[in-house]
Structure 1
Amino acid sequence: MNIYIAYHFVVNPLQPATDILTAELGYAGFESFVENEDGVSAYIQKQDWHEHILEDVEILTSENYSINYTIEEIEQQNWNREWETNFHPIVVDDKCTVRAPFHEKPDTQFDLIIEPKMSFGTGHHETTHMMIQHLLKNDLKGKVVLDMGCGTAVLAILAEKLGAKKVDAIDIDNWCYLNSLENTERNNCTKISVFEGDASLLGEQFYDVIIANINRNILLDDMATYVSCLNPNGMVFLSGFYREDIPAITEKTEELGLSLVDTLEKNKWVALKLKN
């Protein structure tokens, strides 16, 4: 059974400290986050945790913010109690609802039922919210789509509901892989294939649309692989990084022949649409 270490941070003032803290924790190896009215809870598998995990989280030593935390261990079976307390339905652009199975069916065009457990991607985080916005604005009918770092598979599920004919959803984390399988079945998806692994799985696959909501460093490392799998006139949607990371991301994408088409921003997080 997977055991997670949970850090519960109380942050004052909340912004922009909570967003900065979340980004730095992501770089440190934390993989799941739940924001609340006091700050944020961050989760990492116990096997990946070490006692010096917070040493490089610079905001914790900043004089501009007060940040305190407590630590606890959480077993996989206890996660439902944690997220049911914090997970409320969200509606994106009055078109798409992301909800849990125990929430009432909404009156929106797209209804995504997600049981996130320890996986990232409920739609509450700015990056997932913006990626949903991007997908809602674009024509995916008949497209072959890759959701890289799929988390809960929420974006893959939306892609199928938007008319994609084939969707590959990939995540390196076993929990995300299993959770994505559950969520695709829960949403009666028939065109999504879920795989456990990283960009090395892509091989000779080709896609019309590539979605990657991961983090800056992984995106930079794997961008060439993504582009090598992109069909002509393909679309790439990227998120998981801040406004100040845009120059580094676009420098890399321009080298690989991608052009920036559209940018969304929410609380300093950004989501880019690019084309080749």
Structure 2
Amino acid sequence: MDGKWFEVKVITKSEAIEPISGIFYGLDVKGVAIEDPEDINIKQKDKLSWDFADVNIFEFGADAAVVKGYFNENEKIDEIIKYIEEKIDLIKEMGIDVGRGIVTTSDVFEEDWATSWKKYYKPLRIGNKILIKPIWEDVEVKETDLVVELDPGMAFGTGTHETTSMCVELLEKYITESDRVFDIGTGSGILSIVSSKLGAKEVVGVDLDEVAVASAKENVAFNKISNVEVLHGDLVDVIEGKANIVVANIIAEVVVYLTSIIKPFIDKDGYFITSGIIRERKEDVLNALDKEGFKVIEITEKGEWVAIAAKPM
């Protein structure tokens, strides 16, 4: 980044971080930063060394999360703000608590941007094996750790949100070394990379967002893995054959739609792992799975979010 940029800030709550981040990635955003008070809870439970000394994480209150997007100074910022506000209203209609949902903007400069990521993203352990490591961080790695290196400045999906961590934990439980995995709505590529690290033989990540696809490919390269392919497009148009596991960390509405088309892509002994489901929509997803002939194997919940593992019948 060079010169002056616009920082657009949304003051929200932890449960709305992923859908609001998704709004930014539907625009020509140059990066997204997240400040989440839930990270403090993660820190207290984790043995890794976290440094929040220069992060004013509670600036807007103990339960307020902040999502920031960065835009070129040549962008029509008023139109961007209006668009974001309209999308936030749609998120509210889905039953997701966006908290204050306030949108503000300010000017930032290259030197501000250069240090912002190191303030907000630190190493994180998920499940029994996975260690999420920002590429610039030095961290003590255990013999049993499977390290996933990410640049959160380039991609959405850092592992800190409940939906992502639950998907990782379910993948850790169900993946075997001979598996083929489809990751629908791959975002940063985190679940594709995790699948590879857990021993999957082949992984295909798919996303409709070109920015996400580019970011996922970068993150795959950071991890020096050759069995992950990232594709741009819709599931039915770009993927061929079946997978042993299909994972989708998306919103409930999309999950319900996926249940109606996903079965032909899953091996008869395979699994459909999904999250991004707000608790209020849990029954909608369960009903859709039942209607389409899936047997629910496991349901996990964290905070306001739900993850489900199911098998085709």
Shorter-normalised TM-score: what interval? 0.7 to 0.9
Structure 2: which amino acid aligns with 1:22?
A: I
Deviation per residue, 1:70-96 (Å, 9 max, x gap): 224789998664322200110113421
Question: 1:6·1:41 contact (CA, 8 Å) conserved in 2?
Answer: no
Question: 2:185·2:205 contact (CA, 8 Å) conserved in 1?
Answer: yes
Of 57, 67, 73, the match for 1:41:
67
In structure 2, the gaps of 5 or more residues are 26-31, 37-56, 59-64, 94-98
Structure 1: which amino acid aligns with 2:34?
A: V
Q: Percent identity?
A: 24
Deviation per residue, 1:52-80 (Å, 9 max, x gap): 53242659xxxxx6564422478999866
Tell me if 1:159 matches 2:195.
yes
Deviation per residue, 1:1-50 (Å, 9 max, x gap): 9xx97542446xxxxxx1354366468x3446613323211449879946
Tell me if 1:92 matches 2:118.
no
TM-score (norm 2): 0.73
Cα deviation, residue 99, structure 1:
0.8
1:190-209 to 2 correspondences below 5 Å: 190-202=226-238, 204-209=240-245
Separation in 2, partners of 1:102, 1:114: 9
Question: 2:81·2:103 contact (CA, 8 Å) conserved in 1?
Answer: no
2:164 alignment partner, SS class: helix
1:180-259 to 2 correspondences below 5 Å: 180-202=216-238, 204-259=240-295
Aligned to 1:53: 84
Separation in 2, partners of 1:100, 1:23: 19
Separation in 2, partners of 1:26, 1:247: 25
Query: RMSD in angstroms over aligned alpha carbons?
Result: 3.2
Aligned to 1:70: 104
Cα deviation, residue 116, structure 1:
2.3
Separation in 1, partners of 2:136, 2:300: 31
2:273 alignment partner, SS class: strand
Q: After alignment, is 195-204 or 93-102 more displaced?
A: 195-204
2:216 alignment partner, SS class: helix
Of 123, 143, 158, the match for 1:122:
158
Q: Which has the higher contact order (CA 8 A, sep 6+)?
A: 2
Question: 1:5·1:49 contact (CA, 8 Å) conserved in 2?
Answer: no
Return closer, same or farther for 1:154/1:79 CA change in 2, 3 Å cut-off.
farther
Return closer, same or farther for 1:66/1:174 CA change in 2, 3 Å cut-off.
closer
Of 14, 20, 28, the match for 1:19:
14
In structure 1, the gaps of 5 or more residues are 12-17, 60-64
Return closer, same or farther for 1:257/1:74 CA change in 2, 3 Å cut-off.
farther
1:133 alignment partner, SS class: helix
1:193 alignment partner, SS class: strand
Return closer, same or farther for 1:206/1:216 CA change in 2, 3 Å cut-off.
same
Return closer, same or farther for 1:211/1:148 CA change in 2, 3 Å cut-off.
same
1:103 alignment partner, SS class: coil
TM-score (norm 1): 0.82
Q: After alignment, is 114-123 or 183-192 more displaced?
A: 114-123
Total equivalences in the alignment: 264
